[in-house]
Amino acid sequence: MVTLTSVRSTRWLLQSAAEAAVIATLAAVAATVARGVRPSASFPLRGSAADLLEWRARAAGIEVLRIPHALQEAQRGDRIWLDVRSVPEQERRGRIPWAIPFPADDRGAVTALPALELDRPLVLYCESAACDSALREALRLRAAGFRHVSVFVEGFAGWVAAGGEIEHDSARRAP
């Protein structure tokens, strides 16, 4: 004899089995996708903060400089370097000698730049690869019409670690 309780139990069991089958299918699909995904140049699933920042910059169409290429470019001297760290940070830690202060927190900085041709190559850097201010400012400059904008991924900390020259404002003002 079929009772209302046995019908409800059977319906509940069938519904639970269907839900379990859906969950098992989704798990199998997720496992298959996970096995097929490999870290690559197209998207760094693993890596350093510098790798991720480089990937983000390249995805946005911004050129990337890394050590030692940045040291070589600095010796050539054909690019204008912009330090996007805050002015107090630049005063406290120093800056790359030929860099122009271009603090990311100063929204009028684009108009404060010396008259530059829009084709002049620019390199922006902030404190380190963990900071994305240089990338954000590079995107702003490109939107303002500058055609050759690069980001120095390792930033000031990478420059110092590589033995790059730095200066403090007091050295700049000295006669």
Bin 91: left if φ > 0, else alpha if -120 < ψ < 50, else beta: alpha
Instruction: Give how far Cα 99 sits from Cα of 44, 111, 123, 156, Å.
Output: 30, 17, 9, 11
Give the rounded percent of residues in the chain with a pLDDT score beyond 90: 39
**pLDDT for 38 beyond 50:** no
Write out the CATH class of domain 49-173. Answer: alpha beta
**Whole-model pTM?**
0.68
The confidence band for 7, taking pLDDT boundaries of 50, 70 and 90, is low
Q: What ranges do the domains of the chain cover?
A: 1-37, 49-173
- Confidence at residue 1, expressed as pLDDT on a 0 to 100 scale: 60
